[in-house]
Copies of this chain bind each other. A is one copy, B any other.
Amino acid sequence: MRHFQVKFASAAHEVWVGAGLIGKLGRLTREAGLAPGRIAMVTDSNVGPLYSELASDSLRASGYEPITIEVEAGEQSKSLEVLATLYDRFVAEQLDRNSIVFALGGGVVGDLAGFAAATYLRGVPLVQIPTTVVAQVDSSLGGKTAVNHHHAKNLLGAFYQPRLIVADVAALRTLADREFREGLAEVIKYGAIMDAAMLERYGASLDRILARDETAVEQFVGDSLERKAQVVTDDEREQGRRRILNFGHTVGHALEAAFGYKQYLHGEAVAIGMVEAAKLSIVCAGLSPAEAEQLSKLIERSGLPTAMPPQWQSEEFERALKLDKKRSDKAVEFVMLEKLGRAVLRRLSFDDILDNL
């Protein structure tokens, strides 16, 4: 079990990583100083049947009164319409300012329930219980919450920090292979932008990770969250350094969008985006071709795609690239690697990007 604290300027919270932690949720929530009372457990139709009873039982044993709110699994639940149904339930169940919202699930549930917690009564306590690799290593930490607009993903949201994160790595056992692997893209990302040694450790234990050995998994989840905490505590609202976390995401987001979010999972698109960003880094940031190749091999060994699809050139792709919300004016801030373990930001025109893919 690993445990550390994330300290922002205005507040701090605990992070727990380990196997079997959902069964200890009640105790961890009490230890985080969150008062007993009525609480809402937001989950989805995949995760709810597997873990919500375990979580609720543990909470009840510690004096909480959970009600469960299950949304349909999938990205389509990250909408203003589903958000409105959460508000309706919160009101119907008379949740008040002290009522905690628990987000039990992957990135969709974390973003949706997080945004609901951020905005119900102008903010109630939020606890993240991520159950996918992407959520455990990335989206549960840092306070980004959002729903989608029909024109763009994550267009509506708030920065809102959870009061506690409980990452139960045993929950990853029930993930489908493809969902498990997509999360590894974000793990590789932390190594690539911040820590070459972590990348080596990851490569060395990759076979055990793919076999979902709990000790190996606990290590890379903990490593990833600690790296992410380093970056976001320096820059809570993404004014500067935090942008390096978008490594691979500019092209990745555009790929996801251009294919209507059907062809690629997020992590798969980011995997390709990282390979492309590494190629651009050779030209624009001095990354050695050998290191770019090393990164690409590691992505491939993780069971992730590394090549742009043959039919990537399209109006949809170009439009999606320009709609990326990190853009300002006609250029984009692009994350590159000087070497493995060190990221830099460079302003690139859209044409420069398109010409080099």
Contacts and interface: CB of A to CB of B under 8 A. Distances in A.
B122 A146 contact: yes
A326 B121 CA distance: 9
A87 to B, nearest CB: 6
Interface stretch (A90-98, A176-184, A257-265, A294-302): A90-98
A159 interface: yes
A206 B325 CA distance: 51
Interface string A237-279: 1100000000000000000000000000000000000000000
Interface in A140-174: 144, 146, 149, 151-152, 154-159
B328 A97 contact: yes
Given A328-B97, A328-B98, A87 B156 contact: yes
A328 B96 contact: yes
Contacts of A123: 158-159, 237
A84 interface: yes
Nearest to A156: B119
A59 interface: no
Interface in A109-158: 118-123, 144, 146, 149, 151-152, 154-158
Q: How many copies are assembled?
A: 2
Contact of A118 (B10, B158, B238, B328): B158
Nearest to A147: B119
Query: A interface, how many residues as a size bin?
Result: 20 to 34
Tell me the dominant secondary structure on chain A's binding face.
Answer: mixed
A91 B150 CA distance: 10
A119 B121 contact: no
A87 B149 contact: yes
A223 to B, nearest CB: 26
Nearest to A118: B158
A204 interface: no
Interface in A13-40: none
Given A9-B9, A84-B80, A325-B96, A158 B91 contact: no
Nearest to A80: B84
A121 B155 contact: yes
Contacts of A97: 325-326, 328
Given A91-B152, A97-B325, A149-B91, A159 B122 contact: yes
A120 B328 contact: no
A96 B327 contact: yes
Interface of A: 9-10, 80, 84, 87-88, 91, 96-98, 118-123, 144, 146, 149, 151-152, 154-159, 237-238, 325-328
Given A120-B156, A122-B157, A123-B158, 12 more contacts: A80-B87, A87-B155, A91-B149, A96-B327, A97-B326, A97-B328, A118-B158, A119-B156, A119-B157, A122-B159, A122-B237, A158-B158
> Which 8 pairs across A and B sit closest by C-beta, in order of nearness?
A122-B157, A91-B151, A119-B156, A121-B325, A119-B158, A122-B159, A96-B328, A80-B84
